[in-house]
């Protein structure tokens, strides 16, 4: 199987061109290639496929083999892939995902895409649609007990579910200890991605993320979007103003517009091309 490894500010995936390749059992292939000791090493597997609704279609699988609805960093990398590899010459493309059509604007430099802007659509704030086990109309700064400690949690979906928690200092947070307890909390029927946010000012956030199915990752595009939405809802940031989100892998620029749409801009980078034997995976 020919593959390309790419990353969006450290959120790395294995990308496969399914215009040319056929991937049987992508769930097991994702587990294999994601293994950082026995495989290639990644946060998961992304299939770039034909679409009858958009220019391209994306399917994404986490490192544990579960299929994800959406990934912001992967959408940017797909934009770079299809342009750099000659699958399109357009700088505005549409991408079908499991959470709807996303609109990408590509910014090439010397024939290669360096940055991609993505219209991520509108945030979902109704708990049953996120989903969260709550009858409330929204879930903003609600007290939730996790491992015997109370946290104020705001929940947002960007096509996948996010719980945002605010803290004074996230640098020394032991995410590997508390992350699984958030991910598998009874409040979240489909598990949850959790963002731990330190507010610097109204235009700057520090963020660490525990992703369902992958653990702590260096970046999460949908998580950064959800965190800015939550920060506006909690009065830390403002509508229509760009917010820089500092993640372990780099920075994303996020704006939650008054019309409800969320715009994300950030880099996409090639790591390597190669091929891997997956014939033993049944």
How many Å separate Cα 99 from the centre of its chain?
12
Both tokens of residue 81? 């892939």
Eight-class DSSP state of 88: -
Contact 247, 99 (CB under 8 A): no
* CA gap 184, 202 in Å, rounded: 31
Q: Are strands 269-275 and 149-157 parallel, antiparallel or unpaired?
A: unpaired
Q: Is the peptide bond before 108 cis (omega within 30 degrees of 0)?
A: no
Catalytic residue numbers, as ranges:
71, 220
* CA gap 32, 44 in Å, rounded: 9
* CA gap 34, 41 in Å, rounded: 4
Q: How far apart are the first and last CA of the chain?
A: 14
Eight-class DSSP state of 66: P
Strand residues in 19-66 grouped as ranges (E): 44-49, 56-62
Q: What is the C-alpha R_g of the chain?
A: 18
Contact 66, 213 (CB under 8 A): yes
Cα 102 to Cα 79, 105, 125, 159, 264, distances in angstroms: 11, 10, 19, 11, 11
Contact 33, 63 (CB under 8 A): no
């Amino acid at each position: 199987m020919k593959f390309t490894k790419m990353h969006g500010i450290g959120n790395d995936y294995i990308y496969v061109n399914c215009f040319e390749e056929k991937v049987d059992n992508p769930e097991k292939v994702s587990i294999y290639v994601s293994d950082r000791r026995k495989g290639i090493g990644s946060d998961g597997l992304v299939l770039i496929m034909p679409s009858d609704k958009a220019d391209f279609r994306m399917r994404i699988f986490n490192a544990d083999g579960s299929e994800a609805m959406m990934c912001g960093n992967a959408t940017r990398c797909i934009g770079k892939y299809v342009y750099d590899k000659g699958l399109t010459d357009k700088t505005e493309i549409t991408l079908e995902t499991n959470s709807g059509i996303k609109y990408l604007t590509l910014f090439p430099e010397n024939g290669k895409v360096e940055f991609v802007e993505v219209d991520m659509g509108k945030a979902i704030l109704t708990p049953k649609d996120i989903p969260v086990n709550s009858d409330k109309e929204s879930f903003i700064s609600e007290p939730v007990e996790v491992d015997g400690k109370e946290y104020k949690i705001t929940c947002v979906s960007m096509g996948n579910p996010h719980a945002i928690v605010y803290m004074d200092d996230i640098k020394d947070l032991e995410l590997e200890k508390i992350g699984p307890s958030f991910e598998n909390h009874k409040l979240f029927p489909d598990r949850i991605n959790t963002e731990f946010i330190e507010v610097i000012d109204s235009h700057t956030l520090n963020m660490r993320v525990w992703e369902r199915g992958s653990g702590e990752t260096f970046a999460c595009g949908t998580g950064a979007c959800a965190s800015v939405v939550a920060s506006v809802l909690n009065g830390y940031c403002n509508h229509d103003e760009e917010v820089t989100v500092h993640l372990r892998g780099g920075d994303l620029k996020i704006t939650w517009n008054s019309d409800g749409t969320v715009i994300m801009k950030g880099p996409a980078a090639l790591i390597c091309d190669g091929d891997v034997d997956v014939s033993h995976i049944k």
